[in-house]
Structure 1
Amino acid sequence: MDLILQPWPWYVAGPLIAIIMFLLIFMGKQFGMSSNLRTICTMCGADEKASFFNFNWRAQKWNLVVIIGAAIGGFIAMHILSADPAVAINPETVSNLNGLGFESAGKAYLPVELYSLEALTDWKALIILIIGGFLIGFGARWAGGCTSGHAISGLSNLQLPSLIAVVGFFIGGLVMIHLLFPLIF
């Protein structure tokens, strides 16, 4: 039982993702979370406001199962299969984050300083979340997909634009965490 309460190693999780990707490719489907958001927006009437949302969302409703599965899987993993909700990160990283004011580093899954209801009353945290959300949405639209779509589905299909996007995501993440993050906090 104790093995179940540990994160799955790459040699278990990786092949499971590969099997799912093989099945999706075999069925002629593509995976990505941002496409699910596009489908939901279209279902809610966004196609009347912007041509980007003008498509047959019914052909994509199979993909909405991904959102439901991610929510249910995340809940099960967090509340049933996890002995400790904290992410095991390097002690030096915990020390660096503590120095930036993130006292929950190494103790919680997400930093409560940014991802809690109390954080919504802090103007700095709220601005960071709004700007971050805007940049993620802009980047996903500009790159023609999100990190999961490019890194999992696009690379599985050997698409050069996905490789370029993934390299860009990593470079952007490194610039953010090493150059901008210390300036913000």
Structure 2
Amino acid sequence: MEILLSPWPWYVSGPLIALVMALLIYFSKTFGMSSNLRTLCAIGGAGKKVPFFKFDWRSQWWNLIVVTGAVIGGYIAHFLLSNPTDIDLSTSTAVALNEMGFQDIGKSLLPNEIYGWDAVLSVKGLSILIIGGFLVGFGTRYGGGCTSGHAITGLSSLQRPSLIAVIGFFIGGLIMTHFILPLIF
């Protein structure tokens, strides 16, 4: 049971990701989570009002299975396979987080100051969710895909736009982490 509670080594998980990508390329499919939102909107009838959602969503059934698997897998990983040990953070990171008002640093992957119900249902938390959701949705549409689509499918098929997008994701993440997050908290 110990092997299930520790992260899989790169030499197991890496080849599994490569195998999935090889199969997707072989069957002329692309992987990405954001395309599922378009599919769900099309299933709900959004194509009657917005031409972007008017397409044959039945051709994307397999991608909905990927999302379902991600949700079920996330549930299993969190509730059945999680190792309850503390996260080993550097002292400078712990000090910086403490200065921003975070408590119990390293005790959870999801700090209550951001993900707890009290934080989420506050004006600040709802504002972050709404503005962040808009920015992610806009960026995904404008960039032609999400992080998983560009980083996994795009890079594995050597697409230059995906390389540029992934570089942009990392730059955006660094800006958020080092400049914007400290202003919010």
Q: TM-score, normalised by structure 1?
A: 0.93
1:46 corresponding residue in structure 2: 46
Quick one: structure 1 residues 86 and 184, their matched pair in 2 at CA, closer, same or farther if it must change by over 3 Å?
Answer: same
CA 1:71–1:91 in 2, change beyond 3 Å: closer, same or farther? farther
Taking the aligned partners of 1:78 and 1:87, their CA distance within structure 2 comes to 15
* Structure 1: runs of 5+ lacking an equivalent: none
One-letter amino acid of the structure 2 residue matched with residue 38 of structure 1? R
Aligned to 1:80: 80
For 1:153, the equivalent position in structure 2 comes to: 153
1:85 CA displacement: 7.1
| Shift in alpha-carbon separation, 1:91–1:61, aligned structure 2, 3 A | farther
1:30 alignment counterpart:
30
Q: 1:116 is matched by which residue type in structure 2?
A: G
- Considering fraction of residues, name the structure with more helix: 2
Alignment of 1:56-75 (within 5 A): 56-75=56-75
1:122/1:10 CA distance change after superposition, 3 Å:
same
Runs of at least 4 residues of structure 1 off by over 3 A? Answer: 85-91
State the one-letter code of the partner of 2:175: V
8 Å contact from structure 1 (residues 104, 112) kept in 2: no
Counterparts of 1:56 and 1:87, CA distance in 2: 45
Helix, strand or coil at the partner of 1:4: helix
Distance between the aligned counterparts of 1:184 and 1:137, measured in 2?
Answer: 21
28-37 or 9-18, larger mean C-alpha shift: 9-18
Q: Structure 1 CA distance, aligned partners of 2:104 and 2:142?
A: 34
Report the alpha carbon displacement of residue 81 of structure 1 after superposing the two structures with TM: 1.3
Q: Structure 1 residues 90, 74: closer, same or farther in 2, change over 3 A?
A: farther
What is the SS of the residue equivalent to 1:3?
Answer: helix
Report the Cα offset of residue 118 of structure 1: 1.7
CA distance in structure 2 between the aligned counterparts of 1:85 and 1:66, rounded to whole angstroms: 29
What 5-or-longer segments of structure 2 have no aligned partner?
Answer: none
TM-score, normalised by the number of residues in structure 2: 0.93
Partner of residue 114, structure 2: 114
**Paired letter, 1:167:** I
CA RMSD of aligned residues (A): 1.6
How far apart are residue 54 of structure 1 and its match?
1.1
Are 1:163 and 2:126 matched, yes or no? no
Question: Is this contact kept in 2: 1:113–1:119, CA < 8 A?
Answer: yes
Deviates more, 1:151-160 or 1:81-90: 81-90
Q: Which residue of 2 aligns with 1:144?
A: 144
Q: Match of 1:154, as an amino acid?
A: G
Percent pairwise identity: 59
Distance in 2 between residues matched to 1:145 and 1:85, nearest whole Å: 35
The one-letter amino acid of 2:143's match is A
| Comparing 99-108 and 85-94, the one that deviates more | 85-94
